Amino acid sequence: MKFGVLVFPGSNCDHDAYWTLKNVAHQPATFLWHESHDLENCDAIIVPGGFAYGDYLRTGAIAKFSPVMESVKKFAASGGLVLGICNGFQIIAESGLLPGALMRNAGLKYVCKNADVRVEATDTPFTNACKEGEVLTIPIGHMDGNYYCDDATLAELERTNRVVFRYCTPDGRVTPEANPNGSLENIAGICNEGRNVLGMMPHPERSGEAILGCADGFKIFQSMVNVGVNALAAR
Amino acid sequence: MKAHVYVSLKKTVLDPQGKTIQGALKKMGYQGLGDVRQGKFFEIALNGGLTKEQATAEVEKMAREVLTNPVIEEFRFTVEE
């Protein structure tokens, strides 16, 4: 399974994601520059964290107009796997690949810590290696992670089981205290209708192997690799 | 020509910055304080001989497609000769 990691000016988690894919998951991976339309026949795209184009106007506001995102939108529409992490989530939400928006944290502060998230849906290419209700510890580091959408969109997300992760206590209870940024319904990650696009604020690449203190995040990459393995077996 | 674009969060969206500013103003003793909401302001100089009509269309497009996120924000603007 070939992974492409997008690189914008200001991306700063691109190398971490690349490392995890290449050296932990042992998959072919390549960087894809923001000015290129060519996704180089990748099977999955990672939109990494950071501050694309500086995020000066609004997170993801300029990145959504980049040539590479035009190709990513087409790729996603044809069923390709797209994982947006943190700033990547903000970018794909701005691009319209996912509904809603990531607003300034309710506490107005940058939050950087380990977060516990409960896996709410395992029928996605990003969580098939997880158990339903499993609690993963994955670091967060963001200023604008406060997920918002209107009531109709929220109802639709819930009805179609597209809330993939929720912030929770270490024992898996979804409480206001466990919500680090004011996100609606403790939402930490959602997927699109086709379930092939996932956006999440926590950084799985920062908990991608044991030496980092926690390897829970690796399950996200493992799940994506499983999709490739299963596709090969079905051939 | 000059355009002024005002961007604010939709009324239905919580504004934690506005809330915090309101709290600070209250603490300072300002009387009769209602809700406080904050936003962004852009002053855009337009060169190149556009008619006012063209400039208005240009600014409207700019505000809608770039300066705001329609999911959470709304805008109004003026264009002056």
pLDDT tens digits for B10-67?
999 999 899 999 999 999 999 899 999 999 999 999 987 899 999 999 999 999 999 9
Q: What CATH number does the domain containing A31 carry?
A: 3.40.50.880
- State how many domains chain A has: 1
CATH superfamily of B2-80: Phosphoribosylformylglycinamidine synthase subunit PurS (3.30.1280.10)
Q: Active-site residue A203, yes or no?
A: yes
Determine the Cα–Cα distance for residues B37 and B31; give it in Å rounded to an integer. Answer: 17
Residues B36/B59, Cβ–Cβ less than 8 Å:
no
Q: Active-site residue A134, yes or no?
A: no
Identify all chain A residues contacting B69, using CB atoms and an 8 Å cutoff. Answer: 58, 61, 94, 101
Residues A202/A211, Cβ–Cβ less than 8 Å:
no
| CB atoms B71 and A101 under 8 Å | yes
| CB atoms B16 and A108 under 8 Å | yes
Residue A103: pLDDT band by 50, 70, 90 thresholds?
very high
Nearest CA-CA distance, residue A190 and chain B, Å: 16
The residue among A56, A102, A105, A148 with the most chain B CBs within 10 A of its CB, best to mutate, is A148
Range of the structural domain that residue A137 is part of: 3-234
pLDDT at residue A79 greater than cutoff 90 = yes
pLDDT digits (tens, 9 = 90+) for A139-193: 999 999 999 999 999 999 999 999 999 999 999 999 999 999 999 999 999 999 9
Can you say how many angstroms the Cα of residue A29 is from the centroid of all Cα atoms in its chain? 17
| CB atoms B66 and A106 under 8 Å | no
- Taking CA A197 as the corner, what is the angle to CA A122 and CA A235, rounded to the nearest 5 degrees? 75
Domain boundaries, chain B: 2-80
| CB atoms A108 and B12 under 8 Å | no
- In 10 A of CB A13, how many CB atoms? 20
Residues A32/A72, Cβ–Cβ less than 8 Å:
no
Beta bridge partners of B45: B2
Identify all chain A residues contacting B70, using CB atoms and an 8 Å cutoff. Answer: none
Q: If you measure CA to CA, which chain B residue comes closest to A182? A: B16
Q: Which two tokens stand for residue A72?
A: 């990513």
pLDDT digits (tens, 9 = 90+) for A50-70: 999 999 999 999 999 999 999
Residues B17/A104, Cβ–Cβ less than 8 Å:
yes
Q: Is B11 on the interface with A (CB under 8 A)?
A: no
| CB atoms A101 and B67 under 8 Å | no
